[in-house]
Amino acid sequence: MIRVLALKNSDSIRKAFHAMDVDEVGIEIMLQKAQHYLIQIDALTIPAANILKQELLSLGGDAALHRGACNFSIRETPCIMMGTHQHFERLSKKLAAQPFGLKKIAKELKQALRNFLLVPPTLVAGPFIFDFTRSPFVMGILNMTPDSFSGDGIPNTKELLKKAEKMLEDGADLLDVGGESTRPGATPVSVEEERKRVIPAIKALAKRFKIPISVDTSKGEIAEEALNAGAHLINDVSGLMKDPRMAKVAKRYDSPLVVMHHQKEEHDLIGRMANFFEERLLALEKEGIPRNKVILDPGIGFGKTGAENFFVLKRMEEFKCFGRPLLLGASRKSFIGHVLKQEANERLIGSVTSQVFGFFSGAHFFRVHDVREAREALMLSKAILEADV
């Protein structure tokens, strides 16, 4: 009997080899040949592109280029490389001796593939450590707003603590506190009003519970006061582009940052999102914030159509090339309602389905309204992913 094997990662392939009692040395050699990858470079000069293609062809791989690359009728071309891990390891070595910027590309290629294949390093948030070999992590949403799109605004501290306690009982790993609605058309909130909503809430949570707390804000002043009040992470939906003080606050307090994509992209959505993340990471490094302090959020529901939200979910795994943990905030979002014809408070099944798909696409953090349901679905998904007999 002939079968096409559904082995999606090196662990499952290794186990299949072990089941056949393959020699251990042989396993290590063949693992590099067993997985095939498509890797894109956005812009290569034509001399560099042609050298890269020929080198990859000589190794048994290939590269797709713009049709004008062969006759030099264009100056630059995107490139999609095709090959196994072994092909790209050998290609990196060969490109390291080539001109036209290929030495730099060799280094970046090796790092991107390494990031894609490995679990991100641990993330430190105050006294808390997130070990991503143990993810997923469920982030419970606490909206201190009267105009939340999902209708779950919390009116006072008593209700806040009650809701937070229920979330912890249901399995929340961290809590996210926000004081300004980010739904389309929401009225902006002043610093004074956001402070009044958020800071007492964080103080109350920090006093009552020993759990990581995230502050959902785009204002550096609020972020700083929140960190002083007991928060441990900053979740900025503006991608740290609204307030230049935000990066300085994060550096001063050594706080992890959630950087969210929020822009409207006219074409090549995934490519432009990747460019946005790379630009943000480089900008933060210039501010003295290392990459190991950053969480990336693809920004489901922000600046995207319903179809684009599904497309991002489908290809979110591509952002693993940055080697950073990914956060998914799809809970009760309108793209679910557009398909299922439901109001926000009816979108539980759609939310959980999106979260499960996000987990299989590489997400580590899940910002959710319904903690128990998300936790159970994600734990079952992890059991499926790790299943072995």
Q: Would you call 367 a catalytic residue per the annotation? A: yes
Separation between Cα atoms, residue 383 and residue 379, nearest integer Å = 6
Q: Would you call 286 a catalytic residue per the annotation? A: no
Angle at 223 between CA 119 and CA 200, to 5 degrees: 115
- Order across the sheet with 36-45: list the strands: 36-45, 76-84, 62-65
The strand pair at 257-260 and 233-236 is best described as: parallel
Catalytic site residue from 14, 333, 347, 375: 333
Strands (E), 338-380: 365-368
- What residues are paired with 38 via a beta bridge? 82
Asked if residue 125 lies in contact with residue 232, where contact means CB atoms within 8 angstroms, the answer is yes
Which is nearest to 203 in space by CA: 218, 189, 213, 216?
213
Which residues, other chains included, contact 31 with Cβ-Cβ below 8 Å and sequence gap of 6+? 10, 13, 14, 17, 85
Catalytic site residue from 14, 320, 324, 367: 367
Asked if residue 216 lies in contact with residue 237, where contact means CB atoms within 8 angstroms, the answer is yes
Report residue 43 CA to chain centroid gap. Answer: 24
Which residues, other chains included, contact 210 with Cβ-Cβ below 8 Å and sequence gap of 6+? none
- Active site (catalytic) residues: 333, 367
